[in-house]
Amino acid sequence: MSVVEQAAVLPAARPRPRPTARSVALRSLGVVFVLALLVFMVGPILWLALRAFSNVWPYPRFLPSDWTMKWWHSVFADKSLGHSIKLSFEFAPVVTVASAVICLPAAYAFSRFNFPGRRFLLVSLFATNAFPKIGLYISMAGVFYTFNLMGTFLGVVIVQLIGTVVFMTWIPTAAFSSIPRSLEEAARDAGAGPLRVFFRITFPLAAPGIFVAMILSFLASFDEAQGTFLVGIPNYITMPTEMYTLVLNYPEQAAAVFSILLAIPSVILMSLARKHVMGGRLAEGFQIR
Amino acid sequence: MVLPPVAVVAVFIGFPVGAAIAYTLGKTGGPNSTIALIAQRQHVAKHGVTFAAYREVLGNAHVRGDLWATVWVTLLTIAAVVVLSWAIGLYVRLSDTWIARTVSALSVIPLFIPVVIASYAILTFYAAQGFIKTLAYHVGWHSFPTLGYTMWAVVIGEVWVNVPFGVLMMSSGLNSVPNALIEAARDSGASLPQTIRAVLLPMNVIPTVIVATFTGIYVLGSFTVPYLTGPSAPNLMGVSMSQFFQSFNQPQQAEVMAMIVFVLAAGLGTIYVWANMRAAKRASQTS
Amino acid sequence: MSESTTPAGLLIDRVSKDLAGRTIVDDMQLEVRAGELTCLLGPSGCGKTTTLRMVGGFLQPDAGAILIDGVDVSRLAPEKRPTAMVFQNYALWPHMSVFKNVSFGLRLRRLPRREIRDRVEQVLELVGLTHHMNSFPAQISGGEQQRVALARALVLEPKVLLLDEPLSNLDAKLRVRVREDIREIQQRVGITTVFVTHDQDEALSISDRIAVMSGGRVEQYADPTTLYREPATHFVASFVGAMNFYTGTVADGAVEIAGGVRVPCEGARRNGGAPVEIGVRPEDVMVSTAGDGAEAHVLREIPRGHYKELVMQLGEAEVRAFVGPEVSTSERQRVRFARAVVYAEGVLRPSTEPAPLR
């Protein structure tokens, strides 16, 4: 035991420790690293979550001195907050499906056909990511006024949609590319036409990648605040847009409650997709081939 | 098949960006006429183009301060994310203990949390009465600075948000290096650090470039994190851009700032594209 | 080349194909009789897989036609052709069970459930996999996956079965067993089959006829024995089996190779004295310690289990011989050729070919 502590506290005190002591030191360093990471990654979230249940929390205490549920009641009682929650849940699925319908055929084409300009188009999709969103929204306003999209449902959908195009194209492109062509050819051989091959073979096999892209798209739409604010106001105030107002105008505890509510769908959806996201489906999408 | 997304991007991104470029050069007609109606302190080009808006914005000491802050925060965040994701990626690749698995699980947590909430949580965590100050107080460090509403909080927030992507990219890259290559290096007498330097590092240049460039582009254009956690001035360009538009009603100046950020981001993007193309070329030569 | 009276199961009629600016298949002509198993044999890049993919409908020929039972199918999509392919990597759909994989084509044809079940069971019994009906591809071994792929192809009762290097992903021992299984099943079903391989051993042991391909053309199309005994070109002779090659002249009862070494050779007839290429199979090299053979020095002796390979210096040339393991060897040996084949400009010369030893 004492060896462990010594090595952990004084890793530099002994310049050339014996192999055993060194491995112990490395191990302890690992534990310290994990603890630091734990505080860095999870600390802020826990700290905020506690706040949602605190009545009195004097500094410098690690925990509130008085607990309460009243902030939850006040948030649920607020009609406009409820409305924004409902709106968010309307926009996100619409945006996700629209994005999938628009981008998935393109992803398939990018993966299966080597047409002229393929690389260029993949790269230009990426370039859209590099232009700052606010600058984009400002000049988009001109286009939106022309098409009468300001303050409309469709306008908000479009603003949220353009934030999803890049990964809705890239990640499924990689997913399609990872399916050997012979699997499709075998189905053709067995008598399936091109469309049937796509729906019976290609689509089910690419599903994890498409699923990851759709969840990311859903969350991007769910999180989008700035564009929604600029285009949607005053008719469409979604949860994250409301969050800005809350943070600035309400007591901290109410904002904490709202944060937890806003985080719930993300946590659920990401947990569903976790296996595929960690399995490299996301990472694959970011290499242009 | 490729047409729909390209059309969407062209109409709702390409066209507005084109209009924005014209607008910053003093062209207030056409698609810019609506925005030009409400704009204050506008520079209009009677004939040809004018760089007056650029001169005004770059001549503004506050904006220059914001620009420097943006560059510094971006570089610092890139460095921190690359180092962290390499460290975590390597740890997970080379060690299969519960610690490694915990580390990899911890590092993707931000994926699950919306950025608005993350920013707010980080602000309170590092605020005057936050956990870090509380901890410092209890260990007797009473003069520990408050990080909330400083550029440090912005860097912390940006790193927090970008770590999962970095770790996923690095792990995926490191996992694609076959064990045999690592073992062959160890076998020919290389120590672990030598193996990392000679095998893992050169084989993961592309993922590293991707992590660095995407992080950089994200930070350059970010708004939520600096808006919620940062100081009122100087702050990142994303924040002052929207300030110029919403508070000062100066869309032209805001667009000029967007163009400046875009040029920086495009520089990073070029590195990304170049690295990818080079790798693709090599791959096609060897096969 | 062949004069069969039965209608051709498959006719590849003067087919050409360019890919990425290179001619892969060049005016190829090949006829596979009904019920016959033909191997397309050749090194990688010779056009054998491209040919197979054109028969399956995955590639369109640039010129020529592909006929099955006398009907031109060249313009039909793969799903409309009476062919079924077994892919090199098996191409089993990982998200479907063995039953689903095999029944896929039948389900597309909307056959009654009972019939589907019966036919799948029948074909799985044929390949001996009834017990794995509900397994997924990832849960069964490579050899079993291979047989599922075969069952999936056979269940549709195609007129032509196409196999694209089906054994290349199996280990050596399994490969021998599975190739015998494939041959047996093919004989039992009596299906016209085209089998692509680069392994001459595989081709020799299961084919009715073998088409050796090089540079997009058929070099020789013959039954295994003829192919081995009388390789039509230098390329075939060197690709199929081992062969000693010499430049020299043929006299009556002997060949003379470089360095003036005269090797007795049964049945050799004078060919006019012009230098030719002489090929001798290692098993046709007769080795003894005495007699009238040419003198050779043993350089190496390689035990091969059921036989022995001798590498010897013969004048300025080297000669390899396969001899029985019981043959005792000394450093000096006398060498005779039991049989030799002669090529001029790379093509077999029947007129000068020595009569085979009986």
- Kindly report, residue by residue over C116-147, the tens digit of the pLDDT: 999 999 999 988 899 999 999 989 998 899 99
Tell me the three-class secondary structure of A245-283, residue by residue. Answer: HHHHHCCHHHHHHHHHHHHHHHHHHHHHHHHHHHHHHHH
- Quick check: C352 pLDDT over 50? no
The mean pLDDT of C177-206, rounded to a whole number, is: 91
**What is the reported pLDDT for A150?**
83
H-helix segments, chain C: 48-56, 98-108, 113-126, 142-154, 172-189, 200-206, 224-229, 234-239
- Quick check: C101 pLDDT over 60? yes
Residues of C in contact with A183 (CB under 8 A): 91, 93
Band of residue B112 on the pLDDT scale cut at 50, 70, 90: confident
Contact (CB<8Å) A188/C57: yes
CA-nearest of B64, B80, B111, B12 to B219 is: B80
Chain A neighbours (≥3 Cβ pairs under 8 A) are B, C
Distance CA C178, CA B116 (A): 61
**What is the reported pLDDT for A132?**
77
Q: How many other CB atoms sit within 10 Å of the CB of residue C286?
A: 21
Band of residue B257 on the pLDDT scale cut at 50, 70, 90: confident
Band of residue C272 on the pLDDT scale cut at 50, 70, 90: low
- Structural contact between residues C309 and C302, judged by C-beta atoms closer than 8 angstroms: yes
Greatest alpha-carbon span in chain B: 73
Residues of B in contact with A240 (CB under 8 A): 114, 116
User: Which among A57, A102, A145 has CB closest to B8?
Assistant: A102
- Grouping H, G, I as helix, E, B as strand and the rest as coil, residue C31 is strand
Where in chain B are all domains bearing CATH 1.10.3720.10? 62-286
CATH architecture of B62-286: Orthogonal Bundle (1.10)
Whether the ω angle into residue C325 lies within 30 degrees of 0, i.e. cis, is no
**What is the reported pLDDT for C72?**
92
> CA angle A9-A11-A13, nearest 5°?
100
Tens of pLDDT, residue by residue over B151-189, are 898 999 999 999 988 888 888 888 888 888 887 787 777
The count of CB pairs under 8 A between chains A and C is 60
Band of residue C8 on the pLDDT scale cut at 50, 70, 90: low
Separation in Å, CA B240 to CA B57, B216, B267:
11, 18, 21
**What is the reported pLDDT for C288?**
85
**What is the reported pLDDT for C160?**
93
The mean pLDDT of B83-88, rounded to a whole number, is: 91
Q: What is the pTM of this model?
A: 0.79
> CA angle C179-C57-C166, nearest 5°?
15
Chain C neighbours (≥3 Cβ pairs under 8 A) are A
> CA angle B133-B137-B139, nearest 5°?
120
CA-nearest of B28, B29, B35 to A145 is: B35
Tens of pLDDT, residue by residue over B45-79, are 777 788 888 888 888 888 888 899 999 999 999 99
CB-based contacts of C327, cutoff 8 Å, min separation 6:
C287, C308
Contact (CB<8Å) C77/A188: yes
**What is the reported pLDDT for C195?**
94
**Does residue B226 belong to the interface with chain A, where contact is any CB pair within 8 Å?**
no
Distance CA A44, CA B121 (A): 5
CB-based contacts of A248, cutoff 8 Å, min separation 6:
none
Residue in B with minimal Cα distance to A263? B113
**What is the reported pLDDT for B75?**
94
**What is the reported pLDDT for A281?**
66
Distance CA B182, CA B117 (A): 41
- Bridge partners (DSSP) of residue C347 are C233, C344
Distance CA C42, CA B242 (A): 68
Closest CA–CA distance from residue B215 to any residue of chain A (Å): 11
Residues of A in contact with B220 (CB under 8 A): 132
- Grouping H, G, I as helix, E, B as strand and the rest as coil, residue B276 is helix
**Does residue B232 belong to the interface with chain A, where contact is any CB pair within 8 Å?**
no
Residues of C in contact with A210 (CB under 8 A): none
User: Which among A51, A223, A274 has CB closest to B114?
Assistant: A223
- Bridge partners (DSSP) of residue C333 are C296
**What is the reported pLDDT for A13?**
43
Residues of A in contact with C89 (CB under 8 A): 180, 182
The count of CB pairs under 8 A between chains A and B is 269
User: Which among A180, A186, A205 has CB closest to C85?
Assistant: A186
Which residue stretches of chain A have pLDDT < 50?
1-17
**Does residue C95 belong to the interface with chain A, where contact is any CB pair within 8 Å?**
yes
Residues of A in contact with B92 (CB under 8 A): none
Both tokens assigned to A120: 């260029």
* Window C:303-342, CB contacts with A under 8 Å: none
Contact (CB<8Å) A44/B5: no
**Does residue C19 belong to the interface with chain A, where contact is any CB pair within 8 Å?**
no
- Grouping H, G, I as helix, E, B as strand and the rest as coil, residue A238 is coil
User: Which among C84, C93, C109 has CB closest to A189?
Assistant: C84
User: Which among A185, A192, A193 has CB closest to C91?
Assistant: A185
Among A47, A97, A138, which would you mutate to test the B interface (most chain B Cβ atoms within 10 Å of its Cβ)?
A138
Interface confidence, given as ipTM, is 0.82
Tens of pLDDT, residue by residue over C40-95, are 999 988 999 999 999 999 899 999 999 999 899 999 888 888 999 998 888 898 88
**What is the reported pLDDT for C221?**
94
Contact (CB<8Å) A193/C79: yes
**Does residue A190 belong to the interface with chain C, where contact is any CB pair within 8 Å?**
yes
Written as one string, the DSSP assignment of B58-106 is: HH-HHHHHHHHHHHHHHHHHHHHHHHHHHHHHHHHHH--SHHHHHHHHH
**What is the reported pLDDT for A9?**
40
Residues of A in contact with B127 (CB under 8 A): none
Chain B neighbours (≥3 Cβ pairs under 8 A) are A
**Domain chopping of chain A, boundaries:** 79-285
Distance CA C295, CA C274 (A): 24
Contact (CB<8Å) B5/A270: no
Residues of A in contact with C85 (CB under 8 A): 185-186, 189
* % of chain B beyond a pLDDT of 70: 98
The mean pLDDT of B5-22, rounded to a whole number, is: 80
Residues of B in contact with A284 (CB under 8 A): 172
> CA angle C30-C36-C37, nearest 5°?
85
β-strands C209-214, C217-222 pairing: antiparallel
- Quick check: C355 pLDDT over 70? no
**Does residue C248 belong to the interface with chain A, where contact is any CB pair within 8 Å?**
no
Count of residues in chain C: 358
Band of residue C149 on the pLDDT scale cut at 50, 70, 90: very high
User: Which among B23, B228, B237 has CB closest to A247?
Assistant: B228
Both tokens assigned to C96: 């479907």
Among A189, A196, A203, A211, which would you mutate to test the C interface (most chain C Cβ atoms within 10 Å of its Cβ)?
A189
Both tokens assigned to A200: 């019976």
Residue in C with minimal Cα distance to A182? C91
- Do C and B make contact, counting contact as 3+ CB pairs within 8 angstroms? no
Q: What is the dihedral of CA C146, C152, C153, C155, to 10 degrees?
A: 140
Residue in B with minimal Cα distance to A105? B1
**What is the reported pLDDT for A6?**
38
The arrangement of strands across the sheet holding C160-164 comes to: C83-86, C160-164, C192-197, C37-41, C209-214, C217-222
**Does residue C152 belong to the interface with chain A, where contact is any CB pair within 8 Å?**
yes
Q: Which CATH class is domain A79-285?
A: mainly alpha
Residues of C in contact with A206 (CB under 8 A): none
Written as one string, the DSSP assignment of C323-355 is: E-TT----SEEEEEES--EEEETTEE-GGGPPP
Mutual orientation of helices B251-286 and B15-24 as an angle, nearest 10°?
130
Half-sphere exposure at residue C318, Cβ-oriented, CA atoms within 13 angstroms: 7
- Structural contact between residues C232 and C88, judged by C-beta atoms closer than 8 angstroms: no
User: Which among B6, B165, B255 has CB closest to A139?
Assistant: B255
- Structural contact between residues C79 and A194, judged by C-beta atoms closer than 8 angstroms: no
**What is the reported pLDDT for A19?**
58
**What is the reported pLDDT for B74?**
93
CA-nearest of A46, A64, A42, A63 to A259 is: A46
Lowest mean pLDDT among B28-32, B74-78, C139-143, C184-188: B28-32
Half-sphere exposure at residue C32, Cβ-oriented, CA atoms within 13 angstroms: 28
Contact (CB<8Å) A185/C78: yes
Closest CA–CA distance from residue A202 to any residue of chain B (Å): 16
Written as one string, the DSSP assignment of B197-237 is: IIIIHHHTHHHHHHHHHHHHHHHHH--HHHHHHS-SSS--H
- Quick check: B3 pLDDT over 80? no
**What is the reported pLDDT for C350?**
59
- Structural contact between residues B170 and B211, judged by C-beta atoms closer than 8 angstroms: yes
